[in-house]
Amino acid sequence: MKVSHEVPLCFLEESLKFNDYDYCLPHLMDQYEEYKNFFLKSKNDGRYIMMDNSLHELGVPYTKERLLYWLYELQPNEFFVPDYWEDKTSSVVSAREWINIQKSFPDITFIAVVQAKDIHEAMECYQAYKDLGYQKIAFSYGASYYNEVCPHPNKALGKALGRIQVITQLQNWSVINKTDRIHLLGCSVPQEFGWYKDLSYIETIDTSNPIMAGAESTKYYNSGLYEKPKMNMNTCFDFPRYHFDDLAILHNVLMFKKINNI
């Protein structure tokens, strides 16, 4: 699995030392000149770039106009097409539109994100994306139905366990094949990714968890964490460096790989 940890603005240069690829949020390129220049330089330097659609940060996908602009301007290696939170129908409709747009970007892998209200909708959504021709599909970390699939009293652990149960069940139903390509968006607890060790189709993951935990001066235990950090990128993206606990962040980045045997 290739890993990328999204970081606040003041950690961008340091992220090159520990990220396998660079994870781009397009709305931030419109808001911060430094952020835009970082990714344009990364592209020029031959770094691998995945570009999100900013749904998680904005509550809705970024505008089609700006997404198309940055696809042309940045030419990322992979791009998450617009999806809609826990709305299978709208997400599939969007994926149908964007798979046609991909013809204009033959060198970019377009990724569709599974959105659903239960495991059966997740199965239908995943299969619909495959039928449309998507070569790579993603699962978000925070879907509510994960806690129904795994009603653990600790909600954070339940979501992590629920996602792996959904993915492995779709494999058991032969909806997911061993030759598929999957990305995992975010996490509730960092130790989740070690549970995918034998699932070779998990190709890439992204999570700011070690950075956000460190920003709260929370250090990972040998077993990980049992709650999701309350801080998120929206609340601290442009904080100056002195607001952060560098030692806790470095500890967590190193422990993340150790915990998950990456």
pLDDT tens profile 195-248: 998 899 999 999 999 999 999 999 999 999 999 999 889 889 999 998 899 999
pLDDT digits (tens, 9 = 90+) for 114-149: 999 999 999 999 999 999 999 999 999 999 999 999
122 in a structural domain: yes
Question: Mean pLDDT in the chain?
Answer: 97
Indicate the Cα dihedral angle 95, 162, 24, 13, nearest 10°.
-170
pLDDT digits (tens, 9 = 90+) for 226-239: 999 998 898 899 99
28 in a structural domain: yes
224 in a structural domain: no
219 in a structural domain: no
pLDDT at 127: 98
56 in a structural domain: yes
Q: pTM of the prediction?
A: 0.96
261 in a structural domain: no
Evaluate whether 216 touches 229 at the Cβ level (below 8 Å).
yes
75 in a structural domain: yes
Q: What's 181's domain CATH number?
A: 3.20.20.105
pLDDT at 117: 98
For residue 141, the enclosing domain spans 2-208
pLDDT digits (tens, 9 = 90+) for 16-67: 999 999 999 999 999 999 999 999 999 999 999 999 999 999 999 999 999 9
255 in a structural domain: no
Our count of domains for the chain comes to: 1
